Structure 1
Amino acid sequence: MSGILDTVNQRTQLVGQNRLELLTFKLMTRQRYGINVFKVKEVLQCPKLTVAPKMHPLVKGMAHIRGLTVSVIDMSLATGGPAIPDPENRFMIISEFNRTTQGFLVGSVDRIVNMHWEKILPPPDGTGKENFLTAVTDIDDELVEILDVEKILNKISPVNEEISDEVLSQKAEIEDENSEQTEIILIADDSSVARRQVRRTVEALGFEVLLAEDGGDALRQLKQIATQEDIVSRLALVISDIEMPEMDGYTLTTEIRKDTRLKDLHVVLHSSLSGVFNEAMVQRVGADSFIPKFDPDELSAAILNVVKIRREKNDK
């Protein structure tokens, strides 16, 4: 099973084509789940775990993997299911999210499936706010659920969402007392936790927020605004996740650059995806920058810098 990702570097060619590859797995039931291969570093049989005092109830233990100690999260428990028994006879998915590396204990690992993002759909209505789904898809006439891993990780180790006073002090330097309108920032992200985090940051800086749950939703909103007013003068920037149902962030950026009304919008890709391909893809699709999730100071500083340059340009 450790060889399932041997060709992961070759898979970067899928990026920018609105395609992805899902690693599918099961927990303690017949239900299949999926995770983007780009977030997976390794798949291996779970080693013997070390238990430490006062660990979070969802953490099964710690594992020492290739010189790195990682927390191993029971993915079944984390999503409201029964604990996964006998860990050493199960599999562990080592992944990178939000600048951290962790292991996810799962019941079994299935296979890698090449998918088009258009086939990845938002969770159906009625699943409720407490669900841990970010999307669903159909594979071999079977519903596969894609988990909101950022929501799970935030449940175990909430990230700091407060902007430091030092960064907030920079806000006064760019305040425009003559402006009659508050600039708008559009946030596109399929994770409810990520949307909330970015929204809090943007609103703390004093900007209005538009929310989109995926790339397709974001593009529709942008085009609708563009039919009513000069969108570039009203919208300060677009902050977009990369992984999203229907249309990923790379494709969204490409579509923005193709539309003459939208092409001058400032686009920041903001993702938990890791990998050396990010910077190259930012340039290829025409995004202005890439910021890893989630550091409120780093994101705030980037937003303030964009707005400062924008206002200085308008004042000339």
Structure 2
Amino acid sequence: MTSFISSVDQRTKLAGANRLEVLLFSLGQDQLTERNEVFGINVFKVREVMHVPDITRAPDMPDAVEGMVSLRGTMVPVVNLQKFCHIQCNDKPKILMVTEYNKHVQGFLVDSVETIERLSWEEVKTPPPMVSSRMGGLVTAVAQLPDKRLVMIMDVEKVLGETAHFHDEEHLFDEIAAYTKREVHGLFADDSSVARRQISTTLDRMQIKYTATVNGAEAWAKLLEVAERAEAAGKSVSDYIDFVLTDVEMPEMDGYVLTQRIKSDPRFKDIPVLMHSSLSAEANQALGRGMGADVYVPKFEPLELSAALTRLLD
């Protein structure tokens, strides 16, 4: 199964072409709905896949956290996605997916993994309200597979935000200083509700005005609207927007393509772009810089984000 995670350079090139590869997995057949949904996770975030090892139970864990496993001397928390998604299945999870998000390693228990599917971000759409409601907001995007099945991209950041302790440490926001040198307006794009909430809190603490969008395509459309308004007023786009903050993985248009479009358009050449991602591998950061990103900031580090913004705005 470890052969799933290979050819990193090739996958990095795919990302730069607005494409991605997702590892398909199942949580088993729900006894209530009799449905066996197909989920997907970006292979960039998967370190390895294995049969479930011995799990050490630990006290005072959130309900869906089964405990810890030792992987090459490191203790890794394990989240049971069946429990988290309230799927009632007769069979216990058989597979452990070991993932890395923003340098945090954790395992997800799933029923099975299938294969890797190559998708275009243009084919990956924001989930319709019916799907989003049925899955409790846990699905950040959907796409149709060649065999006509629907794959749901799970908002893993939401899972981690509700089972871990590194997303919403309120005391971190208390250390963020207001930016008072001038009035600032930013534009940001992120498909994760957890990430959008944390970005908004950070910018609110800095007293920065902002426009929030849910993917690169929506952010690009907003930029084009601003460009038209600026042209009509005889002004520069930078008179209206001081920076763009973008996630990497987003439906319809990813952050790499959004950054590339911004940096290749003379109207936006003076606007700094911050790439904000849980993809912590150096290859991803290098690709972001190659697309023209001015700064690469890790997700769920509000102090780093506020410091990076302050440096750019000064």
Flag whether TM exceeds 0.5 (same fold): yes
Residue by residue over 1:32-91, the C-alpha shift from the partner in whole angstroms, topping out at 9 and shown as x without a partner, is 00000001111111111111222221011211112211011001111222367544xx11
Is 1:141 aligned with 2:142? no
1:153-178 per-residue CA deviation (whole Å, 9 max, x = no partner) reads 1111242144466541xx4xx623xx
Q: Which amino acid aligns with 2:204?
A: E
Shift of 1:231: 1.7
Structure 1 partner of 2:281: 275
CA contact (8 A) 2:173 2:201 kept: no
Q: Is the 8 A contact 1:214 1:246 kept in 2?
A: yes
Percent identity of the aligned residues? 40
Structure 2 alignment gaps of length 5 or more = 30-35, 231-235
1:11 maps to amino acid: R
Alignment correspondent of 1:26 = 26
Match of 2:262 among 242, 256, 260: 256
Pair 1:157-2:164 in alignment: yes
Q: Equivalent residue for 1:235?
A: 241
1-side partners of 2:142 and 2:21: how far apart? 14
**What residue is the counterpart of 2:58 in the other structure?**
52
Aligned twin of 1:313: none
**2:186 corresponding residue in structure 1:** 185
Structure 1 residues 95 and 142: alpha-carbon distance in aligned structure 2, compared to 1, 3 A threshold = same
My pick for the range that moved more, 121-130 or 56-65, is 121-130
* Map of 1:175 onto structure 2: 180
Alpha-carbon distance between aligned partners in 2 of 1:162 and 1:218, rounded to the nearest angstrom: 30
Equivalent position SS for 2:41 = strand
Matched, 1:222 2:227: no
1:1-316 matches, cutoff 5 A: 1-29=1-29, 30-82=36-88, 85-87=91-93, 90-126=94-130, 127-128=132-133, 130-139=136-145, 140-158=147-165, 159=167, 160-163=169-172, 167-168=176-177, 171=178, 175-176=180-181, 182-229=183-230, 230-308=236-314
- Give the secondary-structure state (helix, strand or coil) at the position aligned to 2:151: strand
Question: Is contact 1:77–1:83 with CA below 8 Å preserved after alignment?
Answer: no
Which amino acid is the alignment partner of residue 50 of structure 1?
Answer: T
Per the alignment, do residues 209 and 157 of structure 1 end up closer, same or farther by CA in structure 2, a change over 3 Å counting? same
TM-score (norm 1): 0.89
Mean CA deviation greater in 214-223 or 271-280: 271-280
Which sits farther off after the overlay, 6-15 or 40-49? 6-15
Q: Which residue of 2 aligns with 1:314?
A: none
Summarize the Cα distance change of 1:231–1:162 in structure 2 as closer, same or farther, 3 Å threshold.
farther
Q: Give the aligned residue type for 1:151.
A: K
Question: Per the alignment, in what secondary structure is the counterpart of residue 28 of structure 2?
Answer: coil
Q: How far apart are residue 270 of structure 1 and its match?
A: 0.3
Root mean square deviation, CA, Å: 1.8
CA distance in 2 between counterparts of 1:22 and 1:165 reads 37
